[in-house]
A and B are shown apart, each in its own frame.
Chain A
Amino acid sequence: MKDKSIETEVQHLKRAVEELAFLNELTLAIGSSFNSEEIMQTLIRKSISQIKAEQGAICLVEDEADKEMKTLVRTMVSHGSGKPFRLDDCFLGWMQINKKSLNITDPHNDDRFKGVKWDESVRSVACVPLIVKSKLTGILSMFNKIKSKSFTDDDLRLLSIIAGQSAQIVETARLYEEEQALYLLQEEGRLAREIQIKLLPKSDPDIPEYDIAGTSRPAMSVGGDYYDFIPINDNRIAICLGDISGKGIPAALLMANLQATVRAQSLSGNSPRECVNRSNVLLYRSTDTDKFATLFYAILDMENNAFCYSNAGHNPPVFIKKDKSPVLLIPNRPILGFLDNIEYCDETTSIEPGDLFVIYSDGVTEAVDEFENEFGEDKFIKLLNEYKGLSAKEIIRIVLQAVDEHSKNVQQTDDITLVVIKRK
């Protein structure tokens, strides 16, 4: 009797040592990777081999409230039945309530899971919960104990220990991957911004009789404003400003596309109307349904002191004659890229010394304060009228200052762009 009990003890000890060695090896193997899929594959493979099961799987649960489990990974060892077994949703329900190990020795006759459609070849199932900070993050399951009718208590015990040790590692890997994905998204946004900023003019035009200045202050992660100065010949320069829809790389590409299109059209000596017409058709054909851009396009004729402009859905610029009240340049047509059969139009105004044009994006007038009050068009126009005697650069500086003052505790959500043209 004594020999038998010693033998049993020795067997227990041997098993315990074996299990400890296994657990150590497992922890080392999975602790060295940040790839959650790799970790889970290793976990299942080693567990199947140690516990001697035909199949193993890990199902991850994204949210406590998740009704559907996602079987993310499964590893088969033998091709006994060939088809991978799936855990029914009712297991998730049971596990969420009980949060403890589950040994199903007779699946087809188990009262707890009556409604489950078991595959014929399922003989035994063992499941343990993966728990992190009292939340169920997944289920580790083994199917069909090899050369035996069902899994033993020792098997379940070992499986529980495995789950206990690896739950946090699996969760950490999963969170790391989510963080990486977010980082990549932010990087893309940053790159798109850089591209957009590089497309903008590096300096203001230097023209004897005219004082012209422009600026664009980007907001983070939203679609860009675009403005450009395009010298056509010694006497004419094209000036434009537009607001691109969308954000990220697609918006940056659209801006590059639009700039190239408008520049090509300008240099062909087209009138503003023709330029905008063609830019619209080209944009419509080269983008899909939710890519648009507003565009205000004008040609400043310095020889004849005339300003000829065409507007495609952009907010009307402000025109302030030296001794008169500000007016808005009303003629306007639909935004670019909307429909390809729009007929654009243009208007010409003469410019006297002291006259001023201010083209701006809605980032200026729609800037909000902490109570969601907009800066507003009226306030903007009043400000321009008050400081119309100053230089173009000064006017821009004052407007930016006023907008900043208005929205001082609020993060900028839209690009703020201004172009001021003044005849000296």
Chain B
Amino acid sequence: MSVKEKIVDDIAILYISGKLMGGKETDEVHDHIKGLINDDIKKVVLDLSKVKWMNSRGLGMLMGSYSSLVKVNGFIKLVGVAEKIKSLLMISQIISFFETYETVDRAAASFRK
């Protein structure tokens, strides 16, 4: 699993690829976001189009990231959410809290509105 970061103005775009199935690797994403918050970057776009698998632990990471950002008046938006991940978000009833977009550009643009 890898996390690639790109900063555009005050928005951090994180490209995640691989599996979000728990463990140290998955925690890395939330830690990365905590690092961004420390550096005062609170708008995060998470590109999940290259995420092959996610389970309840990966979900926990997403929710943790959401909570951390919301606590500092930040926000997280998702891009490229696969069907399986979408259904996980639906079952745990948290899909309504996440905004999902088709592309990174659209997600970033929505921050500027």
The residues of A with any CB-CB pair to B shorter than 8 Å are: 222-223, 243, 245-246, 289-290, 292, 294, 312-313, 315-316, 332-335, 338-339, 362, 366, 372, 414
Interface residues in B61-103 by Cβ distance below 8 A to A read 61, 63-64, 66-68, 71, 91-94, 97
Q: Please, how many angstroms separate the alpha-carbon atoms of A246 and B94 in the complex?
A: 18
**Known interface pairs A313-B93, A339-B97; 5 further A-B residue pairs with C-beta atoms within 8 A, sorted by A's residue number:** A223-B57, A290-B68, A332-B91, A335-B94, A362-B55
Q: Please, how many angstroms separate the alpha-carbon atoms of A292 and B68 in the complex?
A: 13
Contact B92 A246 (CB under 8 A): no
Q: Please, how many angstroms separate the alpha-carbon atoms of A294 and B61 in the complex?
A: 14
B30 at interface, CB cutoff 8 A: yes
Q: Contacts A243-B56, A246-B60, A290-B67 given; indicate if A334 touches B22 (C-beta within 8 A).
A: no
Interface residues in B21-51 by Cβ distance below 8 A to A read 22, 30
A235 to chain B, nearest CB (A): 31
Q: Contacts A222-B22, A289-B68, A290-B67 given; indicate if A338 touches B61 (C-beta within 8 A).
A: no
Contact B93 A245 (CB under 8 A): no
B30 to chain A, nearest CB (A): 6
The answer, among A290, A316, A414, for a CB contact under 8 Å with B64, is: A290
Contacts of B68 in A (CB 8 A): 289-290
Chain B residue with Cβ nearest A363 = B56
Contact A313 B92 (CB under 8 A): yes
Q: Contacts A245-B57, A246-B60, A366-B55 given; indicate if A290 touches B93 (C-beta within 8 A).
A: no
The answer, among B30, B61, B63, B71, for a CB contact under 8 Å with A335, is: B63
The residues of B with any CB-CB pair to A shorter than 8 Å are: 22, 30, 53, 55-57, 60-61, 63-64, 66-68, 71, 91-94, 97
Q: Contacts A245-B60, A289-B64, A290-B67 given; indicate if A335 touches B55 (C-beta within 8 A).
A: no
9 contacts between A and B (CB under 8 A): A222-B22, A290-B64, A290-B68, A292-B60, A294-B92, A312-B93, A335-B63, A335-B93, A414-B55
| Interface-centre pick from B55, B60, B91 (highest chain A CB count, 10 A) | B60
Contact B94 A334 (CB under 8 A): yes
Contacts of A313 in B (CB 8 A): 91-94
Q: Please, how many angstroms separate the alpha-carbon atoms of A223 and B67 in the complex?
A: 20
Chain B residue with Cβ nearest A334 = B93
Contacts of A312 in B (CB 8 A): 93
Q: Please, how many angstroms separate the alpha-carbon atoms of A289 and B31 in the complex?
A: 12
Nearest 7 pairs between A and B by C-beta? Answer: A290-B64, A313-B92, A245-B60, A289-B67, A334-B93, A289-B68, A335-B92
B10 to chain A, nearest CB (A): 22
Contacts of A335 in B (CB 8 A): 63, 92-94
Contact B67 A315 (CB under 8 A): no
Contacts of A316 in B (CB 8 A): 91
